[in-house]
Amino acid sequence: MDFYKSTVIYGLLVLSALFLSCSNKENKTDTIETRVNQLLDRMTLDEKIGQMTQIDPGFAGGEEQMKKSVRDGRYGSMLNLFGVEKVNELQKISVEESRLGIPLLIGRDVIHGYQTIFPIPLGMAASWNPEIVKKAFRISAIECSSQGIKWTFAPMVDITWDPRWGRIAEGCGEDPFLASSLSRAMVEGIQGESLTDPSAVAACAKHFVGYGFSEGGRDYSTTYISEPVLRNVVLKPFLAARDAGALTFMSGFNDLNGVPASGNEFTLKQILRKEWDFKGMVVSDWASVSEMISHGYCSNEKEAALKALKAGVDMEMSSLTYAGNIKALLQEGRIEQWVIDDAVRNILRVKYKLGLFENPYVSPEAQKQLLNPEFLDHAQKVARQSAVLLKNDQKTLPLSQKIRSVAVFGPLADSPRDQLGTWVFDGKAENSVTPLAAIRELLGPDKVNFIKGLQYSRDKNRGEFVKALALAKQSDAILYFGGEEWILSGEGQSRGEINLPGAQEELIAELARSGKPLVVIIMAGRPLAVGKVAGMADALLYGWHGGTMAGPALADLIFGKESPSGKLPVTFVKGSGQIPFYYYHNQTGRPASEGSWTPMDSIPVVNPQSSLGYKSFHLDYGFTPLYPFGYGLSYTTFKYSGLKLSSMSMSTTGSIVVSANITNTGEMDGDEIVQFYIRDRVGSITRPVKELKGFQRVSIPQGMQKEIQFTLNAKDLSFFNGKTQVVEPGEFDVWIGPNSAEGLHGEFNMH
């Protein structure tokens, strides 16, 4: 072919490629599909199995063996590979030395920040602010992609009703509506505007599905979830992640109703692939395929591989049952070739979508994208909006910056690693600004008296108590920073009792004896049973594990730079015995109400068989939680008035608008999180007492009023009865209020 002809042909090819890429999204996808299929056609079975295998370098048989395996195309993905140089080195081997040059997909747990650490996800959920959460995840993606990480195992969107479960820290709490809004925001933040942007990272919605229902809050324990709860609650945030375009899902460790999640055809195949038409990739959790043997669901690795493959797990994390058994399974005719090909297609598609074939390497230049001042400012903002004010008697808070002296105590006051929380591999304690440092900076060191009182959260040594009380007496106000060390929540870190560990309650009681205003700030990975503390403190602020900038954020709130505005994403219980307690439990036959329950201490000692109310309550706890879902105070006050419905009636395809006026009646500007709940009074199955259907975080200047509207579509009132989604006409209640236990009430019917 002469030069002229080949130039014309090349030109035509370029033009048609341009036409394809510009015409529409579908054509773009087609191009990827074509490339995936062309590559698949060239792959050997070993190379296909390689793509389906993900390994941690620590388990790859040593440095040289790892490089050889990459060169031989034995791994499709690596997790926990550190540093730009290392990533580029391995990627170079994969791209330039392996037969087909398929790039590796480098994954890591970047759960709530990479080096700029944001509050734990449960804390971020308390901001009820999808916008700032999205930006937090965008920043995490910018930071981690600059280090070569193109896949994060986030968002974790397991709904849980159990604060004993250590992994409650990683999720968005108990409510499917709030968790779905945040799930969407997190996926959008991680993946960014364009997947081929160098800062785009593939999201992974996990753990599919049901892991948050681990019995007794014991991690990895069995889960039983009825189909209505599964579909109306647990699956919702996953569906939101799919809708937001999450490229990958992770199958969980748990067995769900008797079938392990990583071999579960009902959830992975029927729901995820068929009903939801998910086209992305499914990765197992760490060794969750081989653990099906420990579950007693498979007798050996070959069977485990077979069950995971049949369920639709495309890539196996860490265990090597695929690598060791797929060939034999094919030869024995127990699995068909198309199952393998589909899995490999799902994996390659992610790599193409992320543009890894075009840009496999990380630019060392990009390393500058860590801990930028703008990122740190955002971390401070998120931590500020995440903190929840639970009590503030006599307007103890905010403290004046002109205060003469404050006494700072507690094991979390100056504990840089603990404030970062769980699931932090890359955030560094030395970058944390602690509350003590921030308060010293704000007030000047001379005004701040400090002793820890207890060295760490579980410390029971009362040696410093006398000194602490003396110091408290010399100061104008007391700030006690307590809670939990980071290691007490997270994976495998569940607790049976969820009170403040160690001698913290005793120390707080001691400090209360000083008679000085006592402010307790809790920094923890879960909603602790803080009833006793609330009884002793004048003010109680819940800061969660607030991340790198937790200190300045808390100082901003304590000294009134801004009012606290977070609200609880989870019900706070009085004690472990109340668990599970979530606000949207079904209507019962014998609901308790004020006056209908008998406190245990009021029961006469000698008692004939008689009624103690015969209602749904505990004799010791009663029937209300310590703090309800959605609860949170502010330094200002908000008055709710004028509830209006656009109509008293709507059709099963219609909608109504419900609105109310919110007035800032206090003495400072503030944000209020306005919540919208409904109750479906009668259903074909029993229905929740309340369900969140909308929320808005609004800034209302002092003295101003805003009208807040919520549109309710008939489909928002639908629910799953079994696997059928139904919209049932009938009577409904609505509330617009500041939390799940209060609000202006209205009603309407659907016909």
Query: What does the binding site for ligand NOJ look like in residue numbers (CB under 6 A)?
Result: 109, 153, 206, 285-286, 491
In the complex, least distance from residue 295 CB atom to ligand NOJ, rounded to whole angstroms: 15
Q: In the complex with ligand NOJ, which residue's Cβ is closer, 109 or 426? A: 109
In the complex, least distance from residue 252 CB atom to ligand NOJ, rounded to whole angstroms: 8
In the complex, least distance from residue 59 CB atom to ligand NOJ, rounded to whole angstroms: 12
- Torsion angles phi and psi, residue 683, rounded to 5: -140, 175
In the complex, least distance from residue 211 CB atom to ligand NOJ, rounded to whole angstroms: 8
Residue for token digits 């901001």? 127
Order of strands, sheet of 53-55, starting from the edge strand that comes earlier in the sequence:
151-152, 105-108, 77-79, 53-55, 316-317
**Those residues with Cβ within 8 angstroms of residue 399's Cβ, 6 or more apart along the chain or in another chain:** 406, 477, 517, 519, 558, 559, 560
Q: In the complex with ligand NOJ, which residue's Cβ is closer, 76 or 630? A: 76
**Peptide bond before residue 95 is cis, with ω within 30 degrees of 0:** no
Mark whether 285 is an active-site residue: yes
Three-class secondary structure of residue 645 per DSSP: strand
Contact 461, 455 (CB under 8 A): yes
- Return d(Cα 594, Cα 623) in angstroms, integer: 9
Q: In the complex with ligand NOJ, which residue's Cβ is closer, 261 or 678? A: 261
Three-class secondary structure of residue 586 per DSSP: strand
Closest-CA residue to 477 (of 456, 448, 454) = 448
In the complex, least distance from residue 156 CB atom to ligand NOJ, rounded to whole angstroms: 6
DSSP-derived secondary structure for 219-238: TT--B---HHHIIIIITHHH
H helix intervals, 43-83: 45-51, 63-71
Sign of CA dihedral 13, 15, 18, 24: negative
In the complex, least distance from residue 103 CB atom to ligand NOJ, rounded to whole angstroms: 20
Q: In the complex with ligand NOJ, which residue's Cβ is closer, 284 or 415? A: 284
Contacts made by residues 289-298, CB under 8 angstroms, sequence distance 24+: 289/262, 289/263, 289/313, 289/316, 289/319, 289/321, 289/322, 290/319, 290/320, 290/321, 291/253, 291/260, 291/262, 291/319, 292/260, 292/262, 292/263, 295/255, 295/260, 297/255, 297/259, 297/260, 297/263, 298/263
Q: Token digits for 38?
A: 């062309």
In the complex, least distance from residue 224 CB atom to ligand NOJ, rounded to whole angstroms: 20
- Return d(Cα 683, Cα 556) in angstroms, integer: 47
In the complex, least distance from residue 425 CB atom to ligand NOJ, rounded to whole angstroms: 9
CA 96 vs. chain centroid, Å, equals 38
Q: In the complex with ligand NOJ, which residue's Cβ is closer, 219 or 562? A: 219
- Return d(Cα 481, Cα 547) in angstroms, integer: 15
The residue with its CB nearest to ligand NOJ is 153
Contact 52, 322 (CB under 8 A): yes
Strand partners, 677: 692, 735
In the complex, least distance from residue 433 CB atom to ligand NOJ, rounded to whole angstroms: 28
Residue type, 195: L
Q: In the complex with ligand NOJ, which residue's Cβ is closer, 287 or 541? A: 287
Contact 251, 260 (CB under 8 A): no
Q: Pick the catalytic residue: 285, 459, 538, 671? A: 285
- Return d(Cα 556, Cα 566) in angstroms, integer: 14
List, by residue number, the catalytic residues.
285
